[in-house]
Amino acid sequence: MAMENQEIAALFAEMADYHELQGDNPFRVRAYRNAARLIEDMPEPLREGVTRQDDLTELPGIGKELAEKIVEIVQTGKLQALERLRSSLPSCVPDLLALQGLGPRKVKALLDHLQITRLEDLEQAARNGKVRELPGFGAKTEASLLAAIQRRLSTPTRFLRSRVAPLANELMEALKKTGHVQQITVAGSFRRGRDTVGDLDLLAVSDHPSAVMQALVDRSEVAQVLLRGETKTSVRLTMGLQVDLRLVPPESFGAALQYFTGSQAHNIATRRRAQLAGLKQNEYGIFRAEEQIAGATEEEVYQALQLPWIPPELREDRGELALAEQGRLPNLIGPADIRGDLHNHSTWSDGAATLCEMACAARKRGWEYLAITDHSKRLTVANGLDEHRLRLQLEQMEEVRAELEGFSLLSGSEVDILEDGSLDLPDSILRELDVVILSVHSKFNLSREKQTTRILRALDNPYITFLAHPTGRLLLTRDPYEVDMERVLEGIRARGCFVECNLNPHRLDLDDRYLARAKALGVPVVLNCDGHSVTDFQHHDDGIMQARRAGLEAGDVVNTATITELRNRLRATKR
């Protein structure tokens, strides 16, 4: 994965925290902190300088040691020195540092004086009054710390965006029904299309603030009111999600929406641009001296910065301002561009609908084609098909096709990659299919090299169409397996295949950065819902934001093609 400046900066900031916690040389700590701030504010990605083999020591505050570490991070995605520091400290340290009000020095004091290995240990110590006895703490700090721990332990740090989406819509509709809301929308990472969100930001214009705030706190989903005011109310829902509702005047709505949508890095970049033009930008508007010159809409905010409106999904400070300035912003793909889906399951394996039901639902959605790609025999838990059953399914497909006027039902299989890179079905049946998908469903714990080699060997099969859910992650429950995705993507390009972005909200795999890398390499992407029922087709509606965050356009995506174009592309993958 290409490391961005903010990620490199975060690793250096973490290094600074750990060195300070261990009582290391303060000059060393300061060097890491200064480097983190410098890197975060750099307009050009450091990875480009590493690729060019620039002398990084020419950057202010970057000496030989830090330059070598930057190169290591960019090239490997990791920092061995940081890994060693992490392993030398109690595993609870990141959780402690994440608590509001605790810096490295106070964390060190807690570790030195109390037997703490988990957040729960610190919670018990605070309840027993032991924290207040430590130098630099006291009863008030102890109480605040206990509250912070309880919030941390009771609230998941992230939530699936798909889980939050219906709730966001429900809350906005409820507030509109008060009759006192003129404008309302969601901001924050949710609006930018992040696959998971930490909280929910609502922004509104109202002629009766107290009534709107009351409508929010009166909701049955609200477990706790954290803050109540005329312009901002924060609540925590029973599911643990924090919701912040901000009311702004109409003349500032666009500026506030831009500001609270973020990202922080994008906002820093736009504020810097405003400053260079002699302007001031904040959540209230764009100002020349004391005169507000923009703020009612996002469009006029960007116009005041001499930029076109930038889609929220792109606002991560990954070059979008430069593209906007050059008139080269991508025409982002949307759900209407999709003409079909190439990864679906039926009752033949672990799906909930028959071939005909899946095809009819896809046609009703307005699609031109659908591929049924039931699991291969290795995945017994999913009732995978062996060669004999797959041939029987192909016969039934012919019968279903006769009933589908103006719609194409494509044959296929999601074939397991075995540990040695061989496939779960023989070439004698694969060559007869329209779509052959490769998937890893086992042996997630292989080394990075073995997993990468395994996938590349499988891609050597001449009948492969694309690699599905390429990193195997399940959001919030399973980390990606170790794999060199750069080599995999390059291997896919060399073999003339496609790569999937799986739109199942628990996967969204590939992530947006790898998708952007696929686009840069010229690797065709196929957006699939991995449908196991007819309702799964709706994954395209929200999941497509993953592709938009990567800057994908319709031309980058295989299944925006007509059926005639698609058949030509599918034949071209066969080698």
Q: What are phi and psi of 298, to 5 degrees?
A: -65, -35
* Residue that wins the pLDDT comparison between 13 and 257: 257
User: Cα dist. 203→82, 165, 195, 240 in Å?
Assistant: 39, 15, 21, 20
With CA atoms as reference, report the closest residue to 543 among 556, 531, 528, 558: 528
Task: State the pLDDT confidence band at 327, using cuts at 50, 70 and 90.
Answer: very high
Residues 224, 218: Cα–Cα separation, whole Å: 11
Residue 200 pairs with which residues in a beta bridge?
Answer: 243
Count of Cβ atoms closer than 10 Å to residue 75 Cβ: 12
pLDDT for position 221 = 85
Q: Which of left, alpha, beta for 526 (phi over 0: left; psi -120 to 50: alpha)?
A: beta
Confidence grade of residue 67 (pLDDT, cut at 50, 70, 90): very high
Residue 334 is predicted with a pLDDT of 96
User: Distance between CA atoms of 224 and 236, rounded to whole angstroms?
Assistant: 5
Query: Which are the contacts of 262, defined by CB distance < 8 A and separation ≥ 6?
Result: 187, 188, 189, 192, 315
d(CA 396, CA 383): 18
Q: What is the pLDDT of residue 156?
A: 58
Token code pair at residue 544: 């497509």
Q: Would you give the DSSP letter of residue 287? A: E
Rounded-to-5 percentages of helix, strand, coil across the chain? 50, 15, 35
Region 232-240: what's the mean pLDDT? 90
So what's the pLDDT on residue 100?
66
Pair 377, 384: CB distance under 8 Å = yes
Separation CA 454–CA 448 (nearest Å): 10
Give the residue with greater pLDDT, 194 vs 24: 194
Q: What gap in Å lies between CA 74 and CA 439, rounded to an integer?
A: 28
pLDDT exceeds 80 at position 347: yes
Joined tokens for residue 143: 């109480």
Q: Global pTM?
A: 0.74
For the chain, give the percent of residues with pLDDT over 70.
Answer: 97
Q: Would you state the pLDDT for residue 497? A: 97
Beta strands in 134-282 (DSSP E): 159-160, 181-186, 196-197, 199-206, 222-227, 232-237, 242-247, 280-282
Report the amino acid identity of residue 525: V
Average pLDDT over every residue of 377-402: 92
**Averaged pLDDT, 177-193:** 97
Residue 542's nearest CA partner among 169, 161, 158 is: 161
Q: Which of 381, 467, 479 is nearest to 423 (CA)?
A: 467
Whether 372 contacts 411, CB under 8 Å: yes
Pairing relation of β-strands 159-160 and 196-197?
antiparallel
Q: What is the pLDDT of residues 502-525, one digit of tens each?
A: 999 989 999 999 999 999 999 999
Question: Given this model, what pLDDT does residue 575 score?
Answer: 81
Pairing of strands 242-247, 232-237: antiparallel
pLDDT of 555: 97
| 127-131, 307-311, 452-456, 487-491: least confidently modelled range | 127-131
Map out the domains of the chain with their CATH numbers: 5-154 (1.10.150.110), 159-247 (3.30.460.10), 252-325 (3.30.210.10), 335-573 (3.20.20.140)
Site of tokens 């060195």: 19
Supply 300's token pair.
């006029």
pLDDT level of residue 154 (50, 70, 90 thresholds)? low
Question: Residue 464: pLDDT band by 50, 70, 90 thresholds?
Answer: very high
Report pLDDT for 244: 97
**Per-residue pLDDT tens for 69-96?**
999 998 888 899 999 998 888 888 888 8
**CB-CB contact of 433 with 469 (8 Å):** no
Helices (H), 437-484: 448-459
